[in-house]
Amino acid sequence: MSAEELFERTRAAKRTLGDRVMILGHNYQRDEVIQHADFRGDSLILAQVAEQRSDRPYVVFCGVHFMAETADVLSRSNQTVILPDMAAGCSMADMAAIEQVEQCWDALGVCCRSKRRSCRRSM
């Protein structure tokens, strides 16, 4: 598709979905993506916006996977967070193996679980 076709298709989708969707655009997004964002900012602020705007059941997070995961953790149970490009990654986030991250959390005495799972840990 041409850039013009993509632009029009995105606008039409936003019109159809109306207030049921919010598009979050990370500061580092390209202009042709960020122009459609309802909210722009860094990843934490955008995740907090998703949490605060629980009236919007669909959250499209234009960023990398860990950003969308943060929004998903903070969002409400009635919200679905969508990452348009599942391959969108961050080299810094990929530096540590999951085993290393889990060891750090354990050393700190912190339990890190998604909102969909419960976790009880004695401190």
Give mean pLDDT in consecutive 10-residue pieces for the chain, a chain of 123 residues: 92 95 93 94 92 94 88 91 84 80 81 48 36
- With CA atoms as reference, report the closest residue to 60 among 22, 9, 88, 7: 22
Going by C-alpha positions, the residue among 15, 85, 24 that lies closest to residue 51 is 24
Token readout for 66 is: 């860990």
Which residues neighbour 123 within 8 Å (Cβ) at sequence distance 6 or greater?
Answer: 109
Structurally, what CATH architecture does the domain formed by 3-89 represent? Answer: 3-Layer(aba) Sandwich (3.40)
Give the max Cα distance, the chain.
56
What does the pLDDT read at residue 113? 55
> Tokens 């679980």 identify what position?
113
The predicted pLDDT at position 111 comes to: 63
Find tokens 């629980």 and name the residue.
54
Give the start-to-end residue ranges of the domains of the chain: 3-89
